[in-house]
Amino acid sequence: MTDTPLLLTIAVLGGTGKEGKGLAYRWAKAGYHVRIGSREAAKAEATATELMGLLEGEAFVNGMTNLEAARQADIVVLTVPYAAHKSTLESVKDALKGKILIDVTVPLVPPKVATVQMPAAGSAAQEAKEILGADTQVCAAFQNISHEHLLDDSDVECDVLVTGTSKEARAEAIKLVEAAGLAGWDAGPLENSVVVEGLTSVLIGINKKYGSTHAGIKITGAEK
């Protein structure tokens, strides 16, 4: 791998969690520069070291605080639990101006995580847009992807629905979906994220009922 930087640096806020770590692994393997963000820099640095080990040093991964990661990135991906959603967004709001945020958050409310429970804004992604304002484009994606297979090289039998505040932002998000080895579909405006986020609770219920760990969705009857 050369030292020539790619056009995009991706920050994964909350990247020490299972979903964030898996996505970061796939983007780093694809050649992107990745910044792992966390409330604690030491925790992010440990995750970055772990990923560099998995990729045998052939990657560009660094760990730092969420704010520093957001400042250094061109596109920011938010993978925190819903309980930390609002506070994380407020802490990095200024660093996200003029950028695209891809929100992976699902508003799961324990203990009834298999029941759809949406916030007053309509969805977590719409809530993010309310917090960040007009200076940040917001997309929602990856809500229906189980982390189970992201940290290895297995094919993932699940499509990704991408909603967002503009067609251009959705197109950029789909590029990252495809870079992660997944199939992405433009699912329309951010308001549609309520359906995509809600599907996660449905899939959790299916996993529980049928003894699976990675139920997903596939789009049929359409050609890309």
Q: What is the CATH number of the domain that holds 61?
A: 3.40.50.720
Is 217 contained in some domain? no
Query: Is 90 exceeded by the pLDDT of residue 43?
Result: yes
Does residue 222 belong to any structural domain of this protein? no
Q: How far apart are CA 181 and CA 146, in angstroms?
A: 14
Residue 107 domain flag: yes
What's the whole-number mean pLDDT along residues 106-124?
95
**Helix (H, G, I), strand (E, B), or coil: what is residue 15?**
coil
The DSSP code sequence of 55-118 is: TTT-SEEEEEEHHHHHHH-SEEEE---GGGHHHHHHHHGGGGTTSEEEE------TT-TTS---
Work out how many domains the chain is built from and give that number.
1
3-state DSSP assignment of residue 168: helix
Residues in the chain: 224
Rounded to whole angstroms, the Cα distance separating 66 from 36 reads 8
Predicted pLDDT at 7: 60
pLDDT above 50 for 172: yes
Closest by CA position to 64, among listed 37, 39, 30, 29: 37
In a domain, residue 40? The reply is yes
Q: Is 187 helix (H, G, I), strand (E, B) or coil?
A: strand
* Domain-embedded: residue 192: yes
Least confident of 84-88, 152-156, 178-182, 194-198: 152-156
**Mean of the pLDDT values across residues 155-164?**
94
Decide: 143 and 160 in contact? Cβ < 8 Å: no
- Overall average pLDDT of the 174-180 stretch: 96
User: How high is the mean pLDDT of the chain?
Assistant: 94
- Residue 175 structural domain: 9-210
> Has residue 159 been placed in a domain?
yes
Q: For 77-96, what is each residue's pLDDT tens digit?
A: 999 999 999 999 999 999 99
Sign of the CA dihedral running 193, 148, 218, 9? positive
Is residue 1 a part of any domain in this protein?
no
Strand partners, 62: 35
